[in-house]
Structure 1
Amino acid sequence: MLSVLLVEDDQDLADTIIEYLELEQISCHYASNGVAGLHLAEENRYDVLLLDLNLPRLDGLTLCRKLRDQGDDTPVLMLTARDELDDKLDGFRAGTDDYLVKPFELQELVVRIFALSRRRSGEAKKLSCADLEMNLQNHTITRQGTSIKLSPIGWKLLEVLLRASPGAVSRQELMEKVWGDDLPDSNSLKVHIFNLRKAVDGSFEPPLVHTITGHGFALSADKPV
């Protein structure tokens, strides 16, 4: 079952959306203001965030920007009564993935939710796992405050693993996302993973790069079962 967070100060609209989503087998958590929504987003993992643009205590753009700055890559669908291009551009600059202008059809809302849920957002500015942090803006990687240098391929491998963390990524998916159609042989992947593990785990504890036998790799503070 999909799980979404709705942050909307119009109680009547929120009740209508929540009821409709339940009929579509979509679990919905709800907050009536931006501060409460930020807390829920930080404490839980959702498939999609539905954010009203004009919220009390913390507006939707600021809420989205804060989450992106923290490395949250949950897709964001902004709900707004504004249909001006400048407003939409502001939203995309803040890290919004899609817009839905009020009033909207609930069926369209569900279609957008399912479409967004199939991918994680590419708008996050930081990705992290335990004490490992990748800053996508500054193009830096640190662990326990120590700078880590990677090759371009190593960077791409780590980014894919961080975006999926703590979930596993199959060898085939990893190669396709890093090399595209020009796939290397399996030995090349092994060498790059060896170098990545040496850089990320060589001088640190606990190890974060794990081999999932018969499947692929995962980045996690806890060894996958």
Structure 2
Amino acid sequence: MRILLIERDREVASKILDYFEARGHQLDTIADGVAGLHFAASNGYDAVVIDWMLPRMEGPEVLRRLRLDHGVSVPVVMLAARVELSDKIIAFRSGADDYVTKPFDLPELEVRLEALVSRTEGRVTKRRLLVGDLTLDLSTLEATRAGKRLHLYPACRKLLEVLMRASPAAVTRRQLEHTVWGDNPPDEDLLRSQMSSLRRSIDGPFEEKMIQTLPRVGYRLVAASFPAIQAGLSRDSEA
């Protein structure tokens, strides 16, 4: 499983990381609620584990925004030292699929995650993104347009996933940079280069273009027949 762990306690996060990686799982760890929301919404994880008490944004709010603002249906386990029924109700109403109280046994967390993921693996809406004739399979990481397989570098694939999840809405430059480089984007404008590479793969062989630039804002990806009616919008210039 590919799992995102949003946990403020470094010792707890380290123990979970060591256990899951030793069992053959891939784990990314984030200690901040706001950053965790961006990663959870942008990277196609099999499951997400969210601690309740997080800096900048608490776990239930992270989960609410993940579900409502980003429409992400990834299985989520909420971790908390809270044992009251009222707290569990808050977690489940925020969109949690399961609730684990601290302290907990790591094998229990693993089997709970495996059960959640096994029940959702067959859902096409989770495993495949579709915009017009463009498809991105989140299981195989294969992208196609009009049935033609597209070659994408890893960074371009991450950018494409974010744009497809948001489509037809715009995604800001800052959001896209965070997707690839996290909180430490490079000084030079590498996003422009990555977007140019993505354009060559997605739009180069086709007459109708899907990636559009919104000057001073960012980019958006739309179905080929979607009208470019916004003032100042360009398909050829760079943001």
Aligned-partner Cα distance in 1 for 2:26–2:129? 22
Aligned length: 139
Structure-2 residue corresponding to 1:35: 34
- The one-letter amino acid paired with 1:116 is L
Partner of 2:61: 62
Q: 1:1-225 alignment to 2 at 5 Å?
A: 2-69=1-68, 70-120=70-120, 161-166=124-129, 206-207=132-133, 222-224=145-147, 225=149
Letter of the aligned partner of 2:79 in structure 1? L
Q: Is the 8 A contact 1:73 1:120 kept in 2?
A: no
Q: Secondary structure at the match of 2:119?
A: coil
TM-score for both structures, normalised by structure 2 = 0.53
1:12 Cα deviation (Å)?
0.5
Moved over 6 A (4+): none
Percent of pairs with identical residues: 40
The one-letter code matched in structure 1 to 2:5 is L
Secondary structure (helix, strand or coil) at the match of 1:50 reads strand
d(CA) in 1 for partners of 2:53, 2:104: 16
Counterpart of 2:64 in 1: which secondary structure?
Answer: helix
Contact 1:53–1:60, Cα closer than 8 Å, also in 2: yes
SS in 1 for 2:120: coil
Q: Give per-residue Cα distances to partners, 1:11-70, cap 9 Å, x unaligned.
A: 001001100001111100010010111121122110110000111101100000011012
TM-score for both structures, normalised by structure 1: 0.57
Structure 1 position 113, deviation (Å) = 1.3
RMSD of the alignment, in Å? Answer: 2.4
1:15/1:161 CA distance change after superposition, 3 Å? closer
Would you say the 8 A contact 1:53–1:80 is kept in 2? yes
Cα deviations by residue, 1:131-153 (Å, 9 ceiling, x for unpaired): xxxxxxxxxxxxxxxxxxxxxxx
1:165 Cα deviation (Å)?
2.5
Q: Shift in Å at residue 164 of structure 1?
A: 4.3
Contact 1:75 1:119 survives alignment (8 Å):
no
Q: Aligned equivalents of 1:115 and 1:63: distance in 2?
A: 23
